[in-house]
Structure 1
């Protein structure tokens, strides 16, 4: 029988560590949930989850001026990725670009009436999928603990980047 290369056992321990396993579980769960949401939105509403995220951002504070740059930052997309996404949404009649009154070089994005209507339908689908796969599998106490923990992680990450 051949001997294992010198770092195989060490590599296996690292790959099977609780930290790697637990973080992988978080990522896999979040990815699977996002896929469920995206699939339901595409099937029932004809929009992607990313398009819904844009509409959420645009509908959150009516009348707020939101630039493409702000959307890119909020959605952690590249500038070119955001431009392509807004192009598709504009072609679908969900949003429109308007010049910023304060800076002609800046394009603001706002939802259209069709976009607001699509958002309301998509928000209901999103809520149903989130309820089924994120909320219902947990007890009320576990859900509160999970969301509290996720908020703490988010705060730590935001504080660290400042």
Structure 2
């Protein structure tokens, strides 16, 4: 028995308006809007993009750690060519430098420059202000704790699926 066009349209509308679709859409829209706010503030106040800040965060997280372009691509879920272009732009801006790996000359390590560290500290403060304003302040302390705990559980479940 074939469904009528009217029945198919109604079924499609129910699917499009389902709680799961709506809730996930809200998560994505909120995350996207927050990322746009962060990126705009960083570009305006620091002259760098949010993605550049993410690279600097990764490079500054463990001082002295050797971080390859491949690790950056994996950690930031970027393509290899996208990471190369990003590091090229950051190197031109004086934020990072590539150095050969002592263990494998075929591998380029990336490290922050003095200017990159200065830019990172400025950008980290801008980032914190935007996150506080739009991610933390709208919630009660209890709601914030529950949300971050839930996000951690979601991340844990997703990571378990890929291993």
If the TM-score is normalised by the length of the shorter chain, which range does it land in? over 0.9
* In 2, Cα distance between equivalents of 1:33 and 1:10: 33
Secondary structure in 2 aligned to 1:42?
helix
| Partner SS, residue 7 of structure 2 | coil
Report the Cα distance in structure 2 between the residues aligned to 1:6 and 1:19, rounded to whole angstroms. 21
Query: Where in structure 1 are there 5+ consecutive unaligned residues?
Result: none
How far 1:71 moved relative to its partner? 0.2
* Partner Cα separation in structure 1 for residue 135 and residue 7 of structure 2: 43
Structure-2 residue corresponding to 1:22: 23
TM-score after normalising by structure 1: 0.97
Aligned partner of 1:11 in structure 2 is: 12
What are the ranges of 5 or more consecutive residues in structure 2 without an aligned counterpart? none
- The CA distance in 2 between the partners of 1:57 and 1:87, in whole Å, is 17
**Aligned residue-pair number:** 160
Q: How does 1:1-162 map to 2 (within 5 A)?
A: 4-162=5-163
SS in structure 1 opposite 2:6?
Answer: coil
Deviations 1:109-129 (A, max 9, x none): 000000000000000000000
CA distance in structure 2 between the aligned counterparts of 1:10 and 1:73, rounded to whole angstroms: 39
Q: CA RMSD in A?
A: 0.8
In 1, the alpha carbon distance for the partners of 2:66 and 2:158 equals 26
Secondary structure of the structure 2 residue equivalent to 1:103: coil
Deviation per residue, 1:65-97 (Å, 9 max, x gap): 000000000000000000000000000000000
